[in-house]
Amino acid sequence: MQASARNRFAGTISAVREGAINSEIELTTPGGDVIVAVVTQTSAQRLGLAVGKEAIALIKAPWVMVLTDEGGIKLSARNRMAGTVSRLIKGAVNSDVVIALPGGSAVHAVVTNDAVAELGLKEGVAATALFKASHVILGVSA
């Protein structure tokens, strides 16, 4: 598969919770990270999502928020990955921020330049990527 999504994580489905419209799926990566996705129940059935099945999680870079300090706040977003900024490409409006994770992978986020300035984002700075479960697309072998 060739997809534009900058973030792709492979793992094994470790939990499935079904609702009337949406299902919540947990994917555990080989490194032990847990990614939570909310997909429609129709998709969950069509893809045969079940505990033990291998799957990938795709997340577009603009769907990722960057935090440098959680300072006493708990956020509702289910997915977070902490690392260090390893690359920053600045455009006129947005910047592409890459956060290297301890396990060797990386997360891409597209944030506004205002945010880059306000958070002092640059190579070497500790940062956390945050994204909602409803922003994750899951894939399985056809």
Q: Closest approach of Cβ 84 to a copy of itself, in Å?
A: 15
Closer residue to a copy of itself, CB minimum distance, 42 or 51 = 42
Angle at 81 between CA 78 and CA 86, to 5 degrees: 150
Binding residues among 4-33 for a copy of itself as defined by CB under 8 A: 4-6, 17-24
Range in contact with a copy of itself (rule: CB under 8 A) among 27-35, 71-79, 99-107: 71-79
- How far is residue 78's CA from residue 25's CA, in Å, rounded to a whole number? 11
Residue of 112, 122, 123, 126 interacting with a copy of itself (CB under 8 A) = 112
Let me know: does 38 contact 76? Beta carbons within 8 Å.
no
129 closest CA partner among 40, 59, 38, 50: 59
Size of site (CB under 8 A) for a copy of itself: 76
